[in-house]
């Protein structure tokens, strides 16, 4: 079994700035991996995240260190011992899934016995701005099934009220990206419930959320930065009601499947999320999305130009990529 792996950097210009509490992006910089075997190519993508001290260079170095073993035929289970959870391993793991599916002549869903990806309602994101500008952005999206609103600790309720005024019907996820305090969270409970918020994602900094144990929120809380792999599940289940699974955090679809099973066994609802990325990141996540209560996979909608034949989004509903794009022969 002779394999070859290539890994490099790909940059996608955004069609508008993407702003969260930690900063603003104008481009999506990703790691693209291709693994070739017997003339068949498996592809994967990872998005290094500075929040976890990842860079494009660090992810590519991790892949290079694992090159000999990957080209010698290491499987996805062996990869877990070779590489740490993160964007580099995600790109390789997803490329191995794609390669395996194409060599077997089956889809990834067939290989694991899950439903084939179907169109799903994905959260459409409104980034941080002035309340007036956020309302203008939300007005364009007022008919989508699910909105996600990014906020910080600077009068977030004003922004949410402005959004709700123009978009009263979509389900609503609010994401402070770790910017709130426990006092702020407690003080805003009634207002959040009154605004019909369906989910509050990672309000407190990861590592500073112990006070959530015993807290009874009026709006369900989702762990994002507080949860990565299955070892995190028991603690998350004591503090949150939902876990946001991102392949770049788990280090691939292989671990994401295991995290999802452990989370459900612990009584947590599932959410699948993404970074700002291309369709090559989203196609694997759509497999997982079939079991999730909340889906946030609008990353490619922020790109000025996506990879050809990728996923399509129309009015907040995402349709899987074309046959053969990823995970199918």
Contact status, residue 107 vs residue 101, Cβ threshold 8 Å: yes
Cα–Cα dist 25/130, whole Å: 17
* Catalytic-role residue among 150, 196, 249, 312: 150
Give pairs for 151-159: CB < 8 Å, separation 24+: 151/21, 151/175, 151/176, 151/179, 152/21, 152/128, 152/176, 152/177, 152/179, 153/21, 153/179, 153/180, 153/181, 153/184, 156/180, 156/188, 157/188, 157/191, 157/195, 158/131, 159/128, 159/131, 159/134
Question: Among 125, 121, 124, 169, which residue's Cα sits nearest to residue 150?
Answer: 125
Cα–Cα dist 180/174, whole Å: 12
Polymer length of the chain: 329
The residue ranges of DSSP E strands in 60-187, in sequence order, are 120-121, 124-126, 146-150, 171-175
Question: Among 167, 148, 156, 5, which residue's Cα sits nearest to residue 72?
Answer: 5
- Rg for the chain (alpha carbons), in Å? 19
150 in active site: yes
Cα–Cα dist 251/86, whole Å: 4
* Catalytic-role residue among 102, 148, 246, 249: 246
Cα–Cα dist 80/78, whole Å: 5
Contact status, residue 294 vs residue 271, Cβ threshold 8 Å: yes
DSSP state of 303: B
Contact status, residue 80 vs residue 309, Cβ threshold 8 Å: no
Tokens coding 156: 């977030």
246 in active site: yes
Phi, psi (5° rounding) for residue 96? -70, -40
Cα–Cα dist 7/60, whole Å: 7
Catalytic positions, written as ranges:
150, 246
């Amino acid at each position: 079994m002779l394999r070859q792996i290539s890994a490099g950097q790909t940059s996608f210009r955004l069609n508008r700035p993407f702003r969260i509490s930690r900063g603003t992006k104008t481009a999506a910089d990703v790691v693209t991996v291709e693994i070739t075997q017997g003339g068949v190519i498996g592809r994967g993508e990872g998005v290094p995240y500075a929040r976890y001290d990842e860079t494009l260079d660090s992810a590519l170095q991790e892949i290079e260190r694992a090159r000999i073993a990957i080209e010698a035929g290491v499987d996805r289970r062996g990869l877990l011992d070779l590489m740490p959870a993160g964007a580099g391993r995600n790109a390789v793991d997803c490329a191995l899934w794609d390669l395996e599916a194409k060599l077997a002549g089956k889809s990834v869903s067939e290989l694991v016995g899950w439903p084939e990806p179907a169109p799903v309602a994905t959260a459409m994101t409104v980034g941080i701005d002035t309340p007036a500008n956020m309302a203008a952005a939300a007005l364009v999206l007022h008919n989508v099934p699910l909105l996600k609103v990014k906020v910080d600790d600077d009068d977030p309720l004003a922004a949410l009220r402005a959004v709700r005024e123009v978009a009263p019907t979509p389900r609503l996820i609010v994401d402070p990206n770790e910017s709130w305090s426990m006092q702020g969270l407690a003080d805003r409970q009634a207002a959040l419930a009154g605004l019909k918020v369906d989910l509050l994602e990672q309000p407190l900094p990861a590592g500073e959320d112990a006070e959530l144990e015993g807290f009874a929120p009026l709006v369900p809380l989702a762990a994002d930065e507080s949860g990565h792999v299955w070892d995190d599940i028991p603690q998350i289940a004591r503090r949150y009601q939902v876990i946001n699974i991102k392949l770049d955090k788990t280090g691939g679809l292989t671990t994401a499947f295991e995290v999802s099973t452990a989370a459900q066994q612990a009584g947590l609802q599932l959410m699948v999320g993404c970074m700002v990325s291309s369709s090559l990141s989203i196609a694997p996540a759509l497999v997982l999305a079939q079991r999730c209560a909340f889906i946030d996979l609008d990353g490619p909608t922020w790109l000025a130009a996506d990879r050809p034949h990728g996923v399509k989004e129309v009015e907040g509903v995402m349709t899987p990529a074309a046959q053969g794009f990823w995970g199918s022969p």
